[in-house]
Amino acid sequence: MVRAVTLKDIARETGVHVSTVSRALDPRARDSLTDEVVARVTETAQRLGYRPNRLAAGLRTKRTKTVGLIIPDITNPLFPPIVRGVESVLEPAGYVSIIVNTDGRRDRERFQMQVLMERGVDGVVHAAVERDDPYFDDIRQQSLPIVTVNRALDFDGVPGIVNDEAAGITAMFRLLHDAGHRRIAHIAGPQQLSTGVERLEAFRAAARDYGLDVPEYYISRSEMFVFEEGYRCAEQLLSLAKRPTAILAANDRLALGAMRAIDDQGLSCPEDVSVTGFNDSDYLELIKPGLTTVRVDKTGVGQRAAETLIAMLENPEAERPKRIVMPIEAVTRESVAPPKAD
Partner DNA sequence: TTGTATGCGTTATCAC
Partner DNA sequence: GTGATAACGCATACAA
Q: Which does 66 bind (CB under 5 to 8 A by kind): DNA, a copy of itself, none?
A: a copy of itself
Sort 228 into a burial class: Cβ within 10 Å, 0-12 / 13-18 / 19+: middle
- Least distance from a copy of itself to the Cβ atom of residue 73, Å: 8
Region of residue 143 (phi > 0: left; psi between -120 and 50: alpha; otherwise: beta): left
> Which residue, among 49, 24, 25, 50, has the nearest Cα to 37 in the 3D structure?
24
> Which residue, among 243, 264, 269, has the nearest Cα to 334 in the 3D structure?
269
Judged by beta carbon, residue 14 or residue 303, the one nearer DNA is 14
Judged by beta carbon, residue 29 or residue 59, the one nearer a copy of itself is 59
Per CB under 8 A, which of residues 257..286 are in contact with a copy of itself?
Answer: 282-283, 286
Query: What is the rounded distance in angstroms from the CA atom of residue 137 to the CA atom of residue 141?
Result: 6
Q: Which does 267 bind (CB under 5 to 8 A by kind): a copy of itself, DNA, none?
A: none
Q: Which residues pair with 163 in a beta bridge?
A: 326
Query: What is the rounded distance in angstroms from the CA atom of residue 309 to the CA atom of residue 119?
Result: 18
Judged by beta carbon, residue 12 or residue 105, the one nearer DNA is 12
Q: Which residues pair with 249 in a beta bridge?
A: 187
Q: Which does 241 bind (CB under 5 to 8 A by kind): a copy of itself, DNA, none?
A: none
Judged by beta carbon, residue 35 or residue 319, the one nearer DNA is 35
> Which residue, among 183, 257, 247, 246, has the nearest Cα to 223 in the 3D structure?
257
Interface ranges with DNA (CB under 7 A): 3-4, 6-8, 15-20, 22-23, 25-26, 29, 32-34, 36-37, 50, 52-53, 56-57, 59-61
- Least distance from DNA to the Cβ atom of residue 49, Å: 12
Q: Would strands 160-163 and 123-126 be described as parallel, antiparallel, or unpaired?
A: unpaired
Q: What are phi and psi for residue 161, nearest 5 degrees?
A: -100, 115
Q: Which does 119 bind (CB under 5 to 8 A by kind): a copy of itself, DNA, none?
A: a copy of itself
CB contact burial 236-252 (16+ within 10 A = b; e otherwise): ebbeeeeebbbbbbbbb
Q: Which does 223 bind (CB under 5 to 8 A by kind): DNA, a copy of itself, none?
A: none
Q: Which does 19 bind (CB under 5 to 8 A by kind): DNA, a copy of itself, none?
A: DNA
> Which residue, among 152, 150, 231, 151, has the nearest Cα to 187 in the 3D structure?
231
Judged by beta carbon, residue 57 or residue 179, the one nearer DNA is 57
Per CB under 8 A, which of residues 72..101 are in contact with a copy of itself?
Answer: 73-75, 77, 80-81, 83-84, 87, 96-101
Residues contributing to the site for a copy of itself (CB under 8 A):
1-2, 4, 51-56, 58-59, 62-64, 66, 73-75, 77, 80-81, 83-84, 87, 96-101, 114-115, 117-122, 142-144, 256, 282-283, 286-288
